[in-house]
Structure 1
């Protein structure tokens, strides 16, 4: 892997890769495995990037497809796994209260359906509905409906957990 590839594809899109991998993993070790596999898949498929969409959009797609492929190949169901472990891999947050809120949010996200996780991670990344629709492969109006439902699910999940 060349330094140029690393800087252009990995380093410039590190936040995207971290967020998606974190939404699909439950431990730092598992996160590291997913991250490494994403980097490998980006390297292997770099020639397939045709510049018709933004590089970040392509990286989202490769990262998301890689994470979903890993889950599928492991033949395990992680949609509603109870998460007891939190980790703050590569966090820019120094405030422990803010870090705890972020961990709580990711715990809620990990309990969503696989497709819903992808949508909410893109939304939290401030992607437009058009960009989300393009990446996920659904209509823009469907994106809006799904985001509202996901936000309500997360709100209910997080409120419920705080009461326990």
Structure 2
């Protein structure tokens, strides 16, 4: 393995949580999640040489991961099955330590109900990504990102009440 491959491998290892989070939010089964994870890593590798360092590495990774996920999501014609969603939640939260885990599970469930762009905004917001970087990743203004997130907070609260 050459130096570039080692550097990239370490980058993926250090940020696998970011890739996994995107994979989980845009898929409904473990198999699809693993496939998307691999596809994101492949797309990151393909575009690694083009990363110029003009933004944070995590901003670039989010952009590639989200674009890959949304592109693959659009290609899928089948609708998610309820059983697959349940499998996801059971797998993601095997250790049920009470109400907190139920709330997290419900949050993931309602986030998955959102359209692609809104799902991405919430995911990055929950990862404490600054609005400036959220806007940069999605090609919108920082003000627009803030407004969308404020609206999404209300939407998520309503969805959690409806489905909780």
TM-score normalised to structure 2 length: 0.85
Q: Which residue of 2 aligns with 1:59?
A: 61
Give the C-alpha shift of residue 103 in structure 1.
Answer: 1.6
Matches within 5 A, 1:64-83: 64-76=66-78, 83=85
Q: Which residue of 2 aligns with 1:158?
A: 160
Give the C-alpha shift of residue 99 in structure 1.
Answer: 2.9
Q: Which residue of 2 aligns with 1:43?
A: 45
Give the C-alpha shift of residue 28 in structure 1.
Answer: 1.6
Distance in 2 separating the partners of 1:25 and 1:60: 16
Match of 1:102 among 104, 125, 146: 104
Unaligned runs of 5+ in 2: none
Q: Which residue of 1 aligns with 2:127?
A: 125
Give me the CA root mean square deviation. Answer: 2.1
Match of 2:10 among 3, 7, 12: 7
Give the C-alpha shift of residue 145 in structure 1.
Answer: 1.1
Q: Secondary structure at the match of 2:128?
A: coil
Kindly indicate whether the alpha-carbon contact (under 8 Å) linking 1:41 and 1:62 is maintained by their aligned counterparts in 2: yes
Give the C-alpha shift of residue 53 in structure 1.
Answer: 0.8
Unaligned runs of 5+ in 1: none
TM-score normalised to structure 1 length: 0.85
Kindly indicate whether the alpha-carbon contact (under 8 Å) linking 1:38 and 1:62 is maintained by their aligned counterparts in 2: yes
Give the C-alpha shift of residue 151 in structure 1.
Answer: 1.1
Give the C-alpha shift of residue 77 in structure 1.
Answer: 5.7
